[in-house]
């Protein structure tokens, strides 16, 4: 339970918090010593060979800073990716490394303090989207992004995460959605879209080959995505359904660092998929949902998932490539923003390009695009953290430059969280580009009789 | 006992410390257990993926050529200089031959001296960067400066031998051997262990991320 004294404005376009200038936030009433102990215990709880290898390998070359959007845009060395892990590196060397007895006996590595962790909250949450660009340049091959996620486990248990992120994660755990989408709200909005778009939407079927889930960002802010998804699924002729007992794909347990909540949120979907006997789970346009279910879902389940997990772009690309789906040609120039967790970190970079190829657009890859793309700056939960807004806008300037260099007519992505961030930044900068959805472009250009 | 004999004994003991310390460090890391990954792989990971990334990270991503420039230029030049001196200096080769039972041709002494001086120069540039670059200044600790010192010292003491400084050659060789012993003593405790950690670390990332089909 968060003990924040700050008021949340849940009605604004983005969840906002009063007094965003607060330097760091705390949950619970633990003593400083307890916070440090909790942080270290839960950092090391999942501690394995991989993390130990990485923490032993850093040569302090600093090159990770050169590709981190926060360092590049501010020039502030504290944003060096590996520095964001400093207290955890320090704790590892002192407590768990092969030479910990030396470091501890001679106090060569100091004990981590609560003040340090409080200071590092800004570095681990406000200024890291876990985009993994730094992991690509490290000469030692250290996957820094995975260590940041692990450090967040410790920070959550220590009650040291940003209020807004804690609030949305708690809502997701307790209410089933970070944005307050109850099963009834979901059903109502599906029915609205059904009428609005005159499309058949399957809800709570007892059996289906495909279970489709949505992000509550789409449900609340981009509801057309639900209709678009239904149109595409209908066109493939597969048996599919939405389920009101497992519809929310976002996973703020993962983003906030609470493994128990991450598991609970993932299990709602996994249970629903098992219940309907799904052979395939189709994830929506959401980056971190792909990481949570495609690459971590089985680990939450404790064994391999009994169904395939596909991002919606993978599903569409497969349907187009196999001829189950056909689309009209679209005569415009397009550039595509790769969501980090789907492309760079998730390996599904090819799928959107296959779709754009079928659409016949004049596709313009961004300079250093694809897997080397600049993150939009809103991932990893950062878009929820109000005090990080100025920094988020600052790093978005990189993205604007990257997009503008293509001179494309339209900008598309396949992540509603990125889309939300683009929309917010677009308003902030009064930028000419408006982010669109690849899913919706496909739905708008379907050749309906493809199945026949 | 002659100073040279003491230096040789110190070298032998420090060699054992380097081997035992490195084994301790590696075993300490490998004894940690990873949880099984239950996700369905997109493509094979394992050893071939590990070997791929061990190789590709040596080259660096073409998209990051500019960002990698200093690291790759200074890093490769320094390492090539260092290994040229260690492996291609004729008196060193004689020692390797005595130790390994095989020898190989070396480079003329004058070439080695030029390479040695250049390598010390590169090391000084690297030290200057570490002391002045905001990122390097912030993230550096005792290990970085100690590792720099024990790497530079054998080069400097080795280059002093032909200069003499009015001392007997055996004395200068003994000082050189002591500096190498110091390097070996420090080797397992600090970042010089990247000599072997580089394979483990790159290989781990290769095995994990390649099975996802993610960019490595």
* Structural domains present in chain A: 29-158 (1.10.1060.10), 178-320 (3.40.50), 323-448 (3.40.50)
Q: How confident is the model at residue A450 (pLDDT cuts 50, 70, 90)?
A: very low
ipTM: 0.95
Which of B32, B34, B71 minimises the CB distance to A139?
A: B71
| Region A293-318 average pLDDT | 98
Which of A48, A77, A346 minimises the CB distance to B34?
A: A48
Maximal CA-CA distance, chain A: 76
Contacts of A65 in chain B (CB under 8 A): 135
The token pair that represents A113 in the structure block: 């303090």
Q: Are B189 and A82 within 8 A, CB to CB?
A: no
Question: Residue A325: its pLDDT value, please?
Answer: 97
The number of C-alpha atoms within 13 Å of A422 and in the hemisphere containing its C-beta is 25
How far apart, in whole angstroms, are the C-alpha atoms of residue A398 and residue A406?
13
Q: How confident is the model at residue A24 (pLDDT cuts 50, 70, 90)?
A: confident
Q: How confident is the model at residue A42 (pLDDT cuts 50, 70, 90)?
A: confident
Q: Are B194 and A57 within 8 A, CB to CB?
A: yes
Question: Residue A217: its pLDDT value, please?
Answer: 96
Average pLDDT, chain B: 96
Note the pLDDT tens digit of each residue in A118-151: 999 999 999 999 999 999 999 999 999 999 999 9
CA distance A349 to chain B (A): 8
How far apart, in whole angstroms, are the C-alpha atoms of residue A358 and residue A442?
10
B63: nearest CA in chain A? A368
Lowest mean pLDDT among A6-20, A50-64, A207-221, B102-116: A6-20
Q: Are B135 and A65 within 8 A, CB to CB?
A: yes
How far apart, in whole angstroms, are the C-alpha atoms of residue B112 and residue B93?
12
Burial A311-348 (b: 16+ CB within 10 A, else e): bbbbbbbbbbeeeebbbeebeeebbbbbbbbbbbbbbb
Q: How confident is the model at residue A10 (pLDDT cuts 50, 70, 90)?
A: low
| Region A149-155 average pLDDT | 94
Share of chain B above pLDDT 90, in %: 98
Which of A48, A56, A372 minimises the CB distance to B33?
A: A48
Question: Residue A14: its pLDDT value, please?
Answer: 63
Q: Are B42 and A102 within 8 A, CB to CB?
A: no
* Structural domains present in chain B: 3-25+41-212 (1.20.950)
Which of B37, B135, B212 minimises the CB distance to A299?
A: B37
| Region A16-21 average pLDDT | 60
Note the pLDDT tens digit of each residue in B106-159: 999 999 999 999 999 999 999 999 999 999 999 999 999 999 999 999 999 999
Paired sense of beta strands A240-241 and A210-212, if any? parallel
B24: nearest CA in chain A? A98
Q: How confident is the model at residue A381 (pLDDT cuts 50, 70, 90)?
A: very high
Q: Return the closest-CA partner of residue B145 out of B129, B159, B156.
A: B129
B214: nearest CA in chain A? A347
Contacts of B136 in chain A (CB under 8 A): 60-62
Paired sense of beta strands A280-283 and A210-212, if any? parallel
Among all chains, which residue has been given the structure tokens 């708690």? A170
| Region A44-56 average pLDDT | 87
Q: Return the closest-CA partner of residue A61 out of B159, B198, B199, B40.
A: B198
Please give the interface size between A and B, counted as residue pairs whose CB atoms are below 8 Å apart: 175
CA distance B182 to chain A (A): 18
Q: Is the pLDDT of residue A1 over 70?
A: no
The length of chain A in residues reads 452
Note the pLDDT tens digit of each residue in A86-124: 999 998 998 889 999 999 899 888 889 999 999 999 999
Q: Is the pLDDT of residue A22 over 70?
A: no
DSSP B134-145: HHHHHH--HHHH
Q: How confident is the model at residue B76 (pLDDT cuts 50, 70, 90)?
A: very high
Contacts of B131 in chain A (CB under 8 A): none
How far apart, in whole angstroms, are the C-alpha atoms of residue A74 and residue A65?
11
Cβ within 8 Å of A, B 13-32: 24-25, 27-30, 32
| Region B48-68 average pLDDT | 95
| Region A235-256 average pLDDT | 97
| Region A397-416 average pLDDT | 97
**Residues β-bridged to residue A214:** A248
Cβ within 8 Å of A, B 39-98: 39-40, 42, 53-54, 57, 60-61, 63-64, 67-68, 70-71, 75
Between residues A180 and A439, the one the model is more confident about: A439
């Amino acid at each position: 339970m968060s003990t924040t004294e700050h008021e949340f404005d849940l009605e604004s376009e983005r969840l906002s918090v009063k007094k965003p200038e607060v330097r760091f936030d705390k949950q619970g009433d633990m003593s400083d010593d307890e916070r440090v102990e909790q942080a270290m215990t839960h950092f090391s709880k999942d501690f394995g060979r991989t993390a130990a290898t990485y923490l032993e390998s850093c040569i302090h070359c600093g090159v990770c800073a050169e590709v981190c959007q926060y360092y590049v845009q501010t020039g502030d060395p504290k944003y060096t990716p590996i520095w964001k892990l400093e207290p955890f590196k320090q704790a590892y060397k002192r407590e768990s490394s092969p030479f910990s007895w030396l470091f501890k006996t001679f106090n060569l590595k100091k004990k981590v303090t609560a003040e340090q962790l409080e200071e590092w909250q800004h570095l681990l949450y406000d200024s890291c989207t876990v985009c993994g660009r730094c992991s690509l340049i490290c000469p030692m091959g250290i996957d820094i992004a995975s260590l940041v996620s692990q450090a967040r486990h410790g920070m959550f248990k220590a009650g040291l995460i940003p209020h807004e992120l804690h609030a949305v994660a708690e809502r997701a755990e307790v209410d089933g959605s970070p944005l307050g989408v109850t099963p009834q709200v979901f059903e109502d909005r599906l029915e609205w879209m059904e009428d609005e778009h005159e499309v058949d939407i399957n809800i709570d079927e007892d059996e289906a080959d495909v279970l489709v889930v949505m992000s509550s960002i789409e449900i609340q802010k981009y509801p057309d995505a639900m209709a678009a998804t239904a149109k595409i699924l209908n066109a493939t002729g597969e048996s599919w359904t939405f389920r009101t007992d497992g519809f929310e794909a976002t996973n703020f347990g993962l983003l906030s660092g609470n493994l128990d909540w991450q598991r609970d949120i993932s299990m709602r979907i996994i249970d629903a998929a098992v219940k309907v006997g799904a052979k395939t789970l189709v994830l929506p346009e959401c980056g971190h949902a792909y990481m949570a279910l495609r690459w971590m879902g089985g680990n939450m389940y404790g064994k391999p998932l009994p169904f395939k997990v596909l991002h919606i772009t993978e599903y569409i690309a497969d349907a187009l490539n196999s001829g189950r789906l056909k689309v009209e040609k679209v005569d415009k120039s397009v550039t595509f923003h790769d969501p980090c967790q789907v492309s760079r970190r998730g390996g599904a970079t090819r799928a959107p390009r296959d779709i754009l190829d079928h659409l016949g657009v004049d596709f313009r890859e961004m300079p250093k695009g694809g897997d080397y793309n600049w993150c939009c700056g809103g991932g990893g939960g950062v878009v929820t953290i109000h005090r990080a807004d100025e920094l988020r806008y600052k790093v978005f300037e990189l993205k604007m430059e990257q997009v503008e260099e293509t001179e494309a007519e339209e900008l598309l992505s396949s992540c509603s969280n990125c889309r939300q961030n683009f929309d917010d930044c677009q308003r902030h900068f009064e930028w000419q580009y408006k982010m669109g959805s690849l899913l919706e472009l496909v739905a708008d250009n379907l050749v309906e009789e493809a199945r026949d | 006992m002659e100073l040279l004999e003491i230096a040789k004994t110190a070298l032998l003991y420090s060699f054992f410390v380097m081997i035992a310390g490195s084994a301790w460090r590696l075993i300490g890391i490998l004894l940690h257990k990873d949880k099984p990954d239950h996700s369905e792989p997109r493509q094979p990971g394992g050893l071939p993926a590990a070997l791929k990334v061990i190789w590709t990270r040596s080259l660096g991503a073409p998209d990051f050529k500019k960002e990698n420039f200093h690291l790759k230029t200074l890093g490769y030049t320094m390492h090539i200089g260092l290994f040229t001196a260690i492996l291609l200096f004729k008196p060193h080769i004689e020692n390797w031959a005595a130790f390994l039972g095989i020898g190989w041709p070396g480079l003329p002494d004058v070439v080695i001296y030029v390479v040695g001086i250049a390598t010390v120069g590169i090391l000084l540039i690297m030290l200057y960067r570490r002391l002045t670059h905001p990122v390097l200044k912030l993230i550096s600790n005792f290990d970085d400066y100690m590792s720099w010192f024990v790497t530079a010292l054998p080069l400097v003491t080795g280059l002093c031998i032909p200069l003499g400084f009015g001392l007997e050659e055996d004395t200068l060789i003994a000082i050189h051997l002591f500096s190498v012993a110091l390097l070996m003593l420090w080797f397992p405790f600090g970042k010089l262990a990247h000599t072997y950690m580089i394979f483990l670390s790159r290989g781990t990332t290769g095995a994990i991320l390649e099975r996802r089909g993610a960019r490595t």
